[in-house]
Chain A
Amino acid sequence: MSYLEYQVQTVPTGIRKVLHVNWALLVLLTAVSSFGFLMLTSVAGGDVSRWAEPQMKRFVLGVIAMLAIGLVPLYFWRSISGIAYLVGLVLLIMVELFGEVRGGAQRWLDLKFILLQPSELMKITLVMALAAYYDWLSMARVSRPIWVIIPVIMILLPTAMVLKQPDLGTAILLVAGGGIVMFCAGVSWWYFIAVTAMVAGAVAAVFYSRGQDWQLLKGYQYDRIDTFLDPSRDPLGTGYNITQAKIALGSGGWTGKGFMQGTQSRLNFLPEKHTDFIFTTLAEEFGFVGAFSLLVIYGLILFFCILSAANNKDRFGSLLTLGVAATLFLFFAVNMSMVMGLIPVVGVPLPLVSYGGSAMLVLLAAFGLVQSAHIHRPRSR
């Protein structure tokens, strides 16, 4: 169960751990965040203090947390996985009971010193719990129905609560993130094929239920779907955001309009330009070159995570690494698809770039777990 099964002497201890930190990952995360600082300065019209500075402070805090978490032995994190998951659940319930309502959604928990968004935390604790679960489960049982239902329940419990807030984006992320961990753990392909078929059926049901008295989604969510299918239907209403986002993106061209020269951004045609739509400002001001660079850096982060996981004999460590990487992937893939008009607008921020405290801290903390898995990986011989 622990790395004690392997050659203990090859696992670094004490101050030598620092030498084994995954520096490439740290550099790449810093690069992504720097894109964020730059764009937050731009959308504030050159005012660093408005968004960029608090974001930098959180980044520093997050990196310290990441290194601290990374230096803690992995077995500690494995041992608290179950508790962390339960704490996450309790916090979600508390949000339901005492949460702050903002913009039509009940997502925040006022802990006096910080405004916490438990759904952010849940994305990571779910991955931890699932990784621990599969670490514990014997290989023979992985695809047995009874042992498949347990993680499915573990995923659906928080998902249901998040959906109730309502927060469609996070719900999708939880299901997809959990599903990816299950997939990596080796659950039979057939389950995924069956689930895909069921999802297709559910989507059909969602559309069919529209206007019926058992309507499954809220009106605004249907509107978003409609607008996605045909944004020109309501160019000044719901479709406005996505239309303007696409104009900003497309008008950036090869090299963009230059730092703080984005007309769509500066003249307020873009919605929520410091949060969910920050990528459009980047694409407008730095063009294809800038936008594609960011995509490549994200890709490299995924690459280094998968590389680390593949080389990690510890099942918990590799599943955790893959789960965190998957979460990052889902974040940026959904966000970019959204602003480029590939999928409906769901409120998902661009990881480490969008302005937001909880998301950044939680994500950097999660990469702390990845670092811990990397540092404490068992070395053969």
Chain B
Amino acid sequence: MRRTPKESDEASGLVTRRSVVLGGIQLAFVGILGMRMRQMQVIEADSYRLLAEENRINVHLIPPSRGIIYDRYGVVIAENAQNYRVVIQREQAGDVEAVIAKLRRLVELEDRDVEKALENRNSFVPITLADQLAWEDIAEVALNAPALPGITPEVGLSRHYPLGADFAHIVGYVGPVSQRDLDKQEDPDPLLKIPEFQIGRIGIETKLEGGLRGRAGTKQVEVNAAGRVMRELSRVEFTPGDDLQLTIDHGLQNYAQTRLADESAGSVVIDVETGDLLAMASAPSFDPNLFVKGISSKNYNGLRDDIYKPLFNKTVQGQYPPGSTFKMMTGLAALRGGVIGEKETVFCRGFMPFGGRRFHCWKRGGHGSMDFNNAITQSCDVYFYEVANRLGVDKLAELCHEFGLGQRHDVPVSAVRPGIVPSTKWKAQVRGERWNPGETLNTAIGQGDVLASPLQLAVMTARLASGKAVVPRLVKSVNGAEVPLEAARALDVPAHLMELARKAMHNVSNGSRGTARRARIVAEGFEMAGKTGTSQVRNITTAERARGVTRNEQLPWNRRDHGLFVAFAPYDKPKYAIATIVEHGGGGSTAAAPPSRDILLYALYGDVPPLEAYPKEQRERIKVQHEEMQLRPRLQPEPKATRA
């Protein structure tokens, strides 16, 4: 269509006007965009910068290495061993199923772990497929790495107990953190949430967890939107856990465990001056390494249902009537209370009538006239019935407390129990009943309600030997710093009475009529002083007596008497004390005294004792016995790594 020039000019002018309007609108919009940029990039920049940093930076924890536990000579009891495991990163594996099938030909995999790996949402997070592998297996995997994309052999740290069962009851073991552990704590250490982190389950491992664990390090890493770590930005190293040195002698511990291996028994060796615990053997034992790996239910049920109770720490958790080993307490209490003279005798005719019934002596025919020394040596019951009756139970209880009975010794192992020292007050409080005077007689010979653990009996014996209130100590040093020894106060018992008791115990072991004469030490200067004890688990019933069962050995095992023995040596200059219980072992003189002597001799010699220490007629038998014992040779301490 043709236009006149005038029309064209008009049209062109209109376009120009409109284009100016349009330009204005566009400029305004560009202005708005510019303002918005300024708003976000200049005014609010800091808050956006913070958000960007939060986006990209993650803080990861570095688990600390757990403290090492040594014996008193620096031999390693608990260490952190390299744990070989195989991890998978699904992202890199490609065909995950095929890779796992290939891996299965090399390493045994648990279906549970495989499922876990396949279910994990983030395909770049490494998941453990197999743990605690043998070096050969891991080498095999490493060799086949090219055929196994996404599979990496890794080395982590896992607790290992090189001395196995010997220290299971003292050191205990660690295990993985469970959901219950996390729920129990208000604000759990974030470390606990690290997969495969181990914490103490029982024993020193749990009691001293705080020190052993150490403190986590942290590293700041940059992550991408998918959460994958791109690089490390900064790092704070972890603080390793405290290294502990125990007072236990690994050789003595091994000897004691081995010596008691066939029995259900417990034995504690203590230094009478320092209170250092040199051995705390509880037999039978178990391999704590099984628990670290996660014990199979078959193995666990086996341990749980064993009538010898391998999971039960007899040295502190086991509480037994101390039987005749308690008679020193009764005698000393009576002498201290002045109800009987040192040489004053009580006539034993085999029983003592009291409250309308007879309290029998173990020797039916009676011992005749008995003073303190003879009563201990021959373990006459009637003497102690009589003196306890004169004294009253409360004064006896006072003396017992002086010797550490009826109180929980502060030793960092699991399930330390306080035992029982009965008294009128105790009975009113615990049972809500009045004291029956007949019970004083039962208490006098360590029966009735009296209960004590081998640890308590060992402390009692140590205090008898040294005359001082020694306190048991299990940790010798922490990170190389010696745990200070407190000077033990003298016991509130006249020294000459203590000497009398020690002499009587020497007679028990060495006197011609001593109950433990057979288990004596003949080595010059190493002579032992002890006391046997037999605690009744159950009376022989009338029905059984009618069937002709009169002797302990004829009863089923779990109803036989417990055999006990306490001793110290050398008599002249006491160094070590021991208390041993052999559950259902029969009499103390036959069941508990011989192993106690052997263990004490090992402690005195610092190694397997020479035959010369034994009475001549026993040497042949002891030689065979030592040959049959499968002892671990004493280990040399590892040179300690200096700590950074």
Interface 0/1 of B2-43, CB less than 8 Å to A: 110101111110111011111100110110111011101110
Tell me the complex Cα distance, A313–B2, Å.
14
Output the least CB separation between A333 and chain B (Å): 5
Tell me the complex Cα distance, A328–B522, Å.
112
Output the least CB separation between B46 and chain A (Å): 8
B27 touches A180 (CB 8 A): no
Residues from chain A with a CB closer than 8 A to the CB of B34 are 292, 295
B33 touches A315 (CB 8 A): no
Given contacts A250-B48, A269-B55, A337-B33, contact A291 B41 (CB under 8 A): yes
Chain A, residue nearest B10 (CB): A139
Given contacts A267-B56, A337-B33, A340-B33, contact A315 B15 (CB under 8 A): yes
Given contacts A251-B49, A263-B55, contact A268 B22 (CB under 8 A): no
Residues from chain B with a CB closer than 8 A to the CB of A303 are 23
A1 touches B2 (CB 8 A): yes
A269 touches B225 (CB 8 A): yes
Q: Which of B5, B18, B51 lies in contact with A247, CB distance below 8 A?
A: B51
B33 touches A333 (CB 8 A): yes
Q: 7 smallest A-B Cβ distances: which pairs?
A: A250-B48, A251-B52, A267-B224, A288-B41, A253-B45, A268-B225, A251-B48
B52 touches A185 (CB 8 A): no
Main secondary structure, interface of B, reads helix
CB contacts under 8 Å to B, within A224-238, are none
B41 touches A249 (CB 8 A): yes
Tell me the complex Cα distance, A292–B37, Å.
7
Chain A, residue nearest B14 (CB): A186
Instruction: Say if the beta carbon of A318 comes within 8 Å of chain B.
Output: yes
Given contacts A251-B48, A251-B51, A310-B16, contact A299 B30 (CB under 8 A): yes
A302 touches B23 (CB 8 A): yes
Instruction: Say if the beta carbon of B101 comes within 8 Å of chain A.
Output: no
CB contacts under 8 Å to B, within A341-372, are 342
Main secondary structure, interface of A, reads helix
Q: Which of B37, B48, B52, B224 lies in contact with A291, CB distance below 8 A?
A: B37
B37 touches A139 (CB 8 A): no
Instruction: Say if the beta carbon of A121 comes within 8 Å of chain B.
Output: no
Chain B, residue nearest A306 (CB): B23
Tell me the complex Cα distance, A244–B54, Å.
12
Output the least CB separation between B326 and chain A (Å): 71
Given contacts A250-B44, A264-B52, contact A302 B18 (CB under 8 A): no
**A to B CB contacts below 8 Å, 20 in the list:** A1-B2, A184-B19, A247-B48, A248-B52, A249-B41, A250-B41, A250-B49, A263-B53, A263-B222, A268-B226, A292-B37, A295-B33, A302-B27, A306-B20, A310-B19, A313-B12, A329-B26, A329-B29, A333-B26, A340-B40
Interface residues of B (CB under 8 A from A): 1-3, 5, 7-12, 14-16, 18-23, 26-27, 29-30, 32-34, 36-38, 40-42, 44-45, 47-49, 51-53, 55-56, 222-226, 230
Chain B, residue nearest A298 (CB): B30
B41 touches A318 (CB 8 A): no
Instruction: Say if the beta carbon of A40 comes within 8 Å of chain B.
Output: no
Output the least CB separation between A243 and chain B (Å): 9
Output the least CB separation between A258 and chain B (Å): 14
Instruction: Say if the beta carbon of A208 comes within 8 Å of chain B.
Output: no
- Most B CB contacts (10 A, CB to CB) among A180, A267, A318 go to A267
Tell me the complex Cα distance, A214–B38, Å.
42
Output the least CB separation between B22 and chain A (Å): 6
Output the least CB separation between B615 and chain A (Å): 82
Residues from chain A with a CB closer than 8 A to the CB of B26 are 299, 302, 326, 329, 333
Q: Which of A5, A180, A186, A299 lies in contact with B15, CB distance below 8 A?
A: A186
Residues from chain A with a CB closer than 8 A to the CB of B1 are 1, 136-138
Output the least CB separation between A309 and chain B (Å): 5
Instruction: Say if the beta carbon of A155 comes within 8 Å of chain B.
Output: no
A185 touches B15 (CB 8 A): yes
Instruction: Say if the beta carbon of A126 comes within 8 Å of chain B.
Output: no
Residues from chain A with a CB closer than 8 A to the CB of B41 are 249-250, 252-254, 283, 287-288, 291
B15 touches A267 (CB 8 A): no
Chain A, residue nearest B33 (CB): A336
Residues from chain A with a CB closer than 8 A to the CB of B29 are 329, 333
Tell me the complex Cα distance, A157–B49, Å.
46
B40 touches A250 (CB 8 A): yes
